[in-house]
Chain A
Amino acid sequence: MATKRKGASPRKALKKRAVRSSKPARAVKSAAVTRLNGRDTQHAVEQFLYRQAEYLDTKRWQNYIDLFSGDGIYWMPPDPSHTTWEGMPAIFAEDQNLMTVRMNRVLHPDAWSQRPLWGTNHVVGNVTIESEKPNGDVVVRSRFHMMELRRDDVRHFAGSYVHHLKRTKDGYRIKLQRVDMTNAQAAYDYVLQVWV
């Protein structure tokens, strides 16, 4: 069946990437031979989400932006009922250009609000593959919890991610990341400086 034949190609791509990356990924490579395709996808997607969270928590902004495709969008609606960012109020609705503005602003020496010590810690879980296309594109749902420290103040944000991931020769790229924060509608004590 055509779908089965095509289904093999993501595995190939996964192998390719596994060669380039570190030890845990290599273990996947060997296991991939016997595992079902769905489990390979699950693992690859999870690794992708964890890496994305790690880029945020280690402030590797350019690496983070590079995870998006050229036309990719990071979107945080203010209301869970919203179905599109176009023409709608949005907390974030940023393509790579706007993300670059945000990154360069944060890195600017006179970004006053960036002076105080601040850091975040993301935990991502409940990773569920909603759909996978024969070409390897997937829609993934997950949950996150983020703790942020700014000066002596701690804030918590939690919610769900929906990633629309495109399979490319360099691994997954984000076509759309939807972030629904459970606290999206609560008053913001101070603001959000970067992506959640």
Chain B
Amino acid sequence: MLQERIPDLAKFVEPDRVRREVYTDPTIFELEMQRIHERVWIYCGHESQVPQPGDYYAVQIGRQPMLMVRGKDGGVHVLYNRCPHRGNMMCGDRHGSAGEFFRCSYHSWTFQHDGTLRTIPMMESGYEGTRWTRDNPDCNMKRAARVESYRGFVFASLSEEGPTLAEFLGPSRIAFDDMCDRAPEGEVEIVPNCFRVVQHSNWKIFLENQLDALHPSVTHQSTGRAARDVEIAIEKRTGHAPLSYHMLSAFATVTIDKWDVFQTLNYPHGHCILTGYMGLRPKDPDTLAYERVMEKAYGKARAEEILGVNIHHVLIYPGLSVQSPLQQLRAVRPLGVDKTLTEIWHFRLKGAPEPIYRRSLAYYNLVNSPATMINADDLENFWKCQQGLASEGGDWVSFHRHFGRDIAKEGYVETGPNMGTSEAPMRNQMKAWSELMSKD
């Protein structure tokens, strides 16, 4: 039916521009949920969120309410949050423990943590000769078609078909490698807090902003300037301002023309990387102490290799923005064509000294909390984009900057030298969008 309404999706996306309906049409949104979010690998959460058997977290995949749960065998399962009896939602909380087994609040059907039916009241009689039998899979809580994790980060796909998680992530897995390798113990654990912020704009607007090097010095100028003034005042008074002021002031001190020196790398499936600009490797005593711990754990050469990775953002299309050197990520959950939820998490580097955790925590609190001095202005722009795109003042969204100058390499597309502000990441995301949306 949707196919009839939108006979030719190809006409909505051209290599250098996209029609406005892609962001505003509820029918296209429904199709996106079917063909993109409910097919490809979507981030569910980190294994350390569910340490004990029965621990669960609710997660939305496309339009499907799911549960990520720790099983008794130690594995992590992803199930539809639905009782197969009458369709009742099994867990009404965002997270918690199911205990020994799931129990439906309506008629007390119970299920193992992997979704297998355990008991129903009076099951010994009353079902003879009916379709209800223990070996009927319809009597279990339905599982996500595929669940895989990479270095503790759990993904699920609601489609039996498609690339494996490793194939899907490709080089964008550096998001998790960079995060985990920076831990002397080689892994991270969740900081048990999720900041959740709703934006009144299409989910793609958020993703396109993540690697947009043209906007920070414009959108975030007010905070950057305000932070720079206080940073200077503190430096004058004490000789040294905390790094958190630099994290904010960099938004103003790196002016629009300076952004070209950074680079974006664009991969298959819509993933992209923006190289780093914040200079998060100062020579202060905290950093040096951390580097010594890293050298002890990995050896000098390997530690240097790990600490030398210079990434600002990794975008894992279509729903995850990772800031690996700061150990935080934002999961994007589309709620409607003009409404998007971001779930924002922070991770602790296992084995790293406390000041290193505190440093990235400062960024988490200042930039990613619901009192953010940075994203407030982004969200204002996203809302304005959504309003403007609803108008008939024009049909197209422009991604023309440095179009035609992208350099195709083996397995990825690089922006040319001194073209960090290229809109290549947006073009790359829309290319993936077209590929996914064209499959029935």
Which residues from chain A sit less than 8 Å from chain B, CB to CB? 76, 78-79, 87-93, 97-98, 100-106, 108-116, 186-193
* Interface contact B196-A89, CB-CB below 8 Å: no
* Interface contact B198-A111, CB-CB below 8 Å: no
Contact A108:B373 (CB < 8 A) given known A78-B193, A100-B230, A187-B198: no
* Interface contact B377-A111, CB-CB below 8 Å: yes
Contact A87:B357 (CB < 8 A) given known A108-B222, A113-B377: yes
* Interface contact A101-B193, CB-CB below 8 Å: no
Q: How large is the interface on B (under 10, 10 to 19, 20 to 34, 35 or more residues)?
A: 35 or more
* Interface contact A191-B248, CB-CB below 8 Å: no
List 13 additional A-B contacts (Cβ < 8 Å) besides A110-B222, A113-B376, A190-B199.
A79-B193, A89-B193, A91-B365, A93-B365, A101-B227, A104-B226, A104-B229, A105-B225, A111-B222, A114-B222, A188-B197, A190-B197, A193-B371
CA distance A142 to B423 in the complex (A): 51
**A115 contacts which chain B residues (CB < 8 A)?**
380
Cβ distance B336 to chain A, nearest Cβ, rounded Å: 13
> A76: nearest residue on chain B (CB-CB)?
B371
Asked if B191 is at the interface of the complex by the 8 Å CB criterion, the answer is yes
* Interface contact A105-B361, CB-CB below 8 Å: no
CA distance A86 to B197 in the complex (A): 23
Contact A113:B364 (CB < 8 A) given known A91-B369, A105-B373: no
Those 10 A-B pairs whose CB atoms lie nearest each other, nearest first: A108-B222, A104-B226, A111-B222, A113-B380, A89-B193, A188-B370, A105-B226, A187-B196, A192-B371, A105-B223
Asked if B240 is at the interface of the complex by the 8 Å CB criterion, the answer is no
**B196 contacts which chain A residues (CB < 8 A)?**
186-188
CA distance A90 to B199 in the complex (A): 20
**B195 contacts which chain A residues (CB < 8 A)?**
78, 89, 91, 188
Residues of B204-229 contacting chain A, CB below 8 A: 219, 221-223, 225-227, 229
Cβ distance A38 to chain B, nearest Cβ, rounded Å: 35
Asked if B381 is at the interface of the complex by the 8 Å CB criterion, the answer is yes
**A189 contacts which chain B residues (CB < 8 A)?**
198
The residue that B226 contacts in the complex, of A90, A101, A192, with Cβ under 8 A, is A101
**B68 contacts which chain A residues (CB < 8 A)?**
none
CA distance A113 to B227 in the complex (A): 17
Asked if B346 is at the interface of the complex by the 8 Å CB criterion, the answer is yes
Contact A112:B380 (CB < 8 A) given known A91-B370, A101-B227, A187-B341: yes
Asked if B354 is at the interface of the complex by the 8 Å CB criterion, the answer is yes
CA distance A192 to B376 in the complex (A): 8
In terms of DSSP, what is the predominant structure of the interface of chain B? helix
* Interface contact A105-B222, CB-CB below 8 Å: yes
> A189: nearest residue on chain B (CB-CB)?
B198
**B248 contacts which chain A residues (CB < 8 A)?**
101
Asked if B293 is at the interface of the complex by the 8 Å CB criterion, the answer is no
CA distance A115 to B371 in the complex (A): 17
* Interface contact B198-A113, CB-CB below 8 Å: no
Asked if B375 is at the interface of the complex by the 8 Å CB criterion, the answer is yes
CA distance A101 to B346 in the complex (A): 23
CA distance A186 to B364 in the complex (A): 18
**B198 contacts which chain A residues (CB < 8 A)?**
187-190
The residue that B371 contacts in the complex, of A87, A113, A191, with Cβ under 8 A, is A191
Cβ distance B413 to chain A, nearest Cβ, rounded Å: 32
Cβ distance A63 to chain B, nearest Cβ, rounded Å: 18
* Interface contact A108-B229, CB-CB below 8 Å: no
Residues of B358-387 contacting chain A, CB below 8 A: 358, 361, 364-366, 369-373, 375-377, 379-381
The residue that A191 contacts in the complex, of B223, B229, B379, with Cβ under 8 A, is B379
* Interface contact B230-A191, CB-CB below 8 Å: no
* Interface contact B230-A97, CB-CB below 8 Å: yes
CA distance A88 to B196 in the complex (A): 17
**B123 contacts which chain A residues (CB < 8 A)?**
none
* Interface contact A110-B197, CB-CB below 8 Å: no
**B365 contacts which chain A residues (CB < 8 A)?**
89-91, 93
* Interface contact B370-A192, CB-CB below 8 Å: yes
> B241: nearest residue on chain A (CB-CB)?
A97
* Interface contact B346-A190, CB-CB below 8 Å: no
Cβ distance B298 to chain A, nearest Cβ, rounded Å: 25
Asked if B234 is at the interface of the complex by the 8 Å CB criterion, the answer is yes
Contact A112:B377 (CB < 8 A) given known A187-B341, A191-B372: yes
* Interface contact B373-A101, CB-CB below 8 Å: yes
**B376 contacts which chain A residues (CB < 8 A)?**
113, 190-191, 193
Cβ distance B180 to chain A, nearest Cβ, rounded Å: 20
**A106 contacts which chain B residues (CB < 8 A)?**
222
Contact A89:B354 (CB < 8 A) given known A105-B226, A191-B379: no
Can you list 22 contacts pairing A with B, beta carbon distance less than 8 Å?
A: A76-B371, A87-B354, A89-B191, A89-B193, A91-B195, A91-B365, A92-B371, A98-B230, A98-B366, A101-B227, A104-B229, A109-B222, A112-B222, A112-B380, A113-B379, A113-B380, A189-B198, A190-B197, A190-B200, A190-B376, A191-B370, A191-B371
* Interface contact A91-B377, CB-CB below 8 Å: no
Contact A91:B371 (CB < 8 A) given known A101-B226, A188-B196: yes
**B354 contacts which chain A residues (CB < 8 A)?**
87
**B366 contacts which chain A residues (CB < 8 A)?**
98
